[in-house]
């Protein structure tokens, strides 16, 4: 069957364009991914019925590893970055290795990092959180003060608005880590922002909360008061331990379901006002330019999105047979209700199994058993959230948003599985 036929009259554009336009980076990507997940040949001396090497001598004792690190065989599971994407590493991003993760929690050391002025390394003894502005009783809190208050713990995903931002026009990066890795999911522990705002007492005209970070970028964002009083948190814990410096130690703002830019790290100030602060970030960067030249402003909620993490470019198939297609789905509006998976580019869909727990504003794992017959396939997923919203195709998304924005790309991701088992990022071209 020809590609055109498989596409219902449309054309399948292979990723050749990418190979031509950014050949240097293609070589770089190939280099950085080499060895990732490649199976080594077994040493027969260690296989049954022989006694393996590690069973013949005592292992290291409990004094050997005060803070545990992953086993050396998993050393390829790391955050990666794309040097040509940004001018410097201090104002840049690295990506979560989604292809190597299990379940829905991202280990702290693998959470993607996005800094505007590098990572701040803060002594908590010297850090303060100031809450002032349109409040009855302004306060200055230490980190210990926060820890004396009642705590909450919740799982939330955190996705940069620029996740998949390179992919608006066409298939670009041949890697799920680079196309979708600006998302992580963790259990946050801290104080509910509502508790803090109740404590300082909001004045009647309090409408916005300006959050400011203590990093070199002094990043600031304005959050509407309704959201601040709903489910935001000032977190000091992440996945059971203190926040990592990369994620905002000693405290960060957690703004569930909203774009990660508003999750201010190294939080030092909350100023309550009656209008948003139009910082450079808000007006020039975190808006979505539309085809008519107008821009969408205040597009805070991350809409339903999903991606298949196996198979994917980093995880090819090893011959025909039985597999489990796996992926992640999430929505800033609440719970994932359903995920559909297609192996023919979206012509036919099957409902995937959602792996419990299915939590609101949290990554949700999905799975679908698949017997691969060894023929070319186009694997794609679409998420449906509890509001009934269906993750759009890239074609549907582009019709409404154009291709000028780099933010809020939640279109369906298509992976082409070749008869060799290799997997490539492709874009389906639909007949218009």
The span of 54-62, 215-223, 287-295, 303-311 binding ligand MTE (CB under 6 A) equals 215-223
Q: 266 vs 372, which CB is nearer to ligand MTE?
A: 266
Radius of gyration of the chain (CA): 23
Under rule CB under 5 A, which residues in 10-69 are in contact with Co ion?
Answer: none
Q: How far is the CB of 212 from ligand MTE (least distance, A)?
A: 8
Identify which of residues 331 and 342 has a Cβ nearer to ligand MTE in the complex.
331
- Report the chain's terminal Cα–Cα distance, integer Å: 22
The rounded distance, in Å, linking the Cα atoms of 291 and 390 is 23
For tokens 């991202």, name the residue.
106
Kindly state whether residue 217 participates in binding ligand MTE, applying the rule CB under 6 A. yes
264 binds ligand MTE (CB under 6 A): yes
Binding test (CB under 5 A) with Co ion, winner from 15, 114, 127, 408: 114
Q: Which C-beta is closer to Co ion: that of 260 or that of 339?
A: 260
- The interface mask with ligand MTE, positions 9-38, x = CB under 6 A, is ------------------------------
Binding mask 158-197 for ligand MTE (x = CB under 6 A): x-x-----------------------x-------------
What residues numbered 100-159 form the site for ligand MTE, per CB under 6 A?
111-116, 158
- Near ligand MTE by CB under 6 A, which window of 21-29, 30-38, 59-67, 210-218? 210-218
Site string for Co ion, 247-286 (x = CB under 5 A): -------------xx-------------------------
Encode 278-303: b = buried (16+ Cβ within 10 Å), e = exposed.
ebebbeeebbbbeeeeeeeeebbebb
Residue 116 interacting partner from Co ion, ligand MTE, none (CB closer than 5 to 8 Å by kind)? ligand MTE
For 405, the token pair is: 């924005």
Name the phi and psi angles at 54, rounded to 5.
-75, -10
* From Co ion, ligand MTE, none, interface partner of 239 (C-beta below 5 to 8 A by class): none
314 binds ligand MTE per the rule CB under 6 A: no
- Going by C-alpha positions, the residue among 299, 207, 315 that lies closest to residue 258 is 299
304 contact, one of ligand MTE, Co ion, none, CB 5-8 Å limit per kind: none
Instruction: Closer to Co ion by CB, 114 or 365: give it.
Output: 114
Q: Least Å distance between CB 286 and Co ion?
A: 8
Measured between alpha carbons, how far is 204 from 98 in angstroms, rounded to an integer? 45
d(CA 196, CA 270): 10
The residue within the footprint of Co ion, chosen from 36, 82, 160, 312 (CB under 5 A), is: 160
Residues that bind Co ion (CB under 5 A): 114, 160, 260-261
Instruction: Give contact residues for ligand MTE (rule: CB under 6 A).
Output: 111-116, 158, 160, 184, 213, 215, 217, 219, 246-247, 260-261, 263-266
């Amino acid at each position: 069957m020809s590609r055109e036929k498989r596409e219902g009259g449309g054309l399948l554009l292979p990723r050749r364009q990418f190979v031509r336009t950014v050949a240097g980076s293609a070589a770089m990507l190939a280099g950085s991914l080499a060895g990732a997940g490649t199976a080594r040949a077994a040493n027969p001396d260690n296989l049954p019925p022989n006694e393996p090497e590690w069973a013949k001598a005592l292992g290291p004792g409990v004094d050997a590893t005060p803070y545990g690190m992953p086993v050396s065989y998993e050393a390829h599971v790391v955050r990666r970055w794309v040097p040509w994407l940004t001018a410097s590493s201090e104002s840049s991003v690295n990506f979560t290795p989604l292809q190597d993760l299990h379940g829905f929690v991202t280990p702290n050391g693998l959470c993607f990092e996005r800094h505007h002025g590098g990572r701040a390394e803060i002594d908590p003894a010297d850090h303060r959180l100031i809450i002032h502005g349109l409040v009855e009783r302004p306060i200055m809190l230490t980190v210990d003060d926060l820890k004396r208050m009642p705590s909450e713990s919740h799982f939330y995903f955190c996705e940069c608005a620029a996740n998949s931002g390179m992919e608006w026009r066409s298939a670009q990066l041949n890697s799920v880590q680079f196309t979708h890795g600006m998302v992580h999911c963790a259990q946050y522990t801290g104080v509910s922002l509502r508790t803090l705002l109740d404590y300082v007492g909001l004045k009647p005209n309090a409408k916005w909360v300006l959050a400011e970070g203590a990093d070199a970028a002094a990043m600031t964002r304005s959050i509407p008061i309704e959201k601040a009083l709903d489910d935001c948190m000032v977190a000091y814990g992440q996945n059971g331990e203190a926040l990592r410096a990369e994620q905002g130690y000693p405290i960060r703002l957690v703004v569930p379901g909203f774009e990660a830019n508003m999750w201010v790290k190294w939080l030092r100030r909350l100023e309550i006002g009656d209008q948003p602060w139009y910082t450079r970030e808000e007006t020039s960067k975190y808006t979505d330019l539309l085809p008519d030249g107008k821009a969408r402003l205040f597009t805070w909620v991350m809409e339903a999105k999903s991606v298949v993490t196996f198979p994917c470019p980093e995880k090819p198939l090893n011959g025909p047979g039985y597999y489990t297609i796996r992926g992640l789905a999430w929505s800033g509006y609440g719970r994932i209700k359903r995920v559909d998976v297609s192996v023919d580019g979206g012509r036919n869909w099957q409902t995937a199994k959602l792996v419990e727990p299915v939590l609101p504003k949290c990554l949700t794992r999905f799975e679908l058993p698949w017997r691969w017959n060894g023929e070319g396939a186009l694997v794609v997923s679409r998420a449906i959230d509890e509001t009934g919203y269906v993750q759009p195709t890239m074609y549907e998304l582009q019709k409404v948003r154009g291709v000028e924005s780099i933010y809020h790309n939640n279109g369906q991701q298509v992976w082409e599985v070749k008869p060799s088992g290799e997997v490539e990022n492709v874009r389906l071209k639909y007949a218009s």
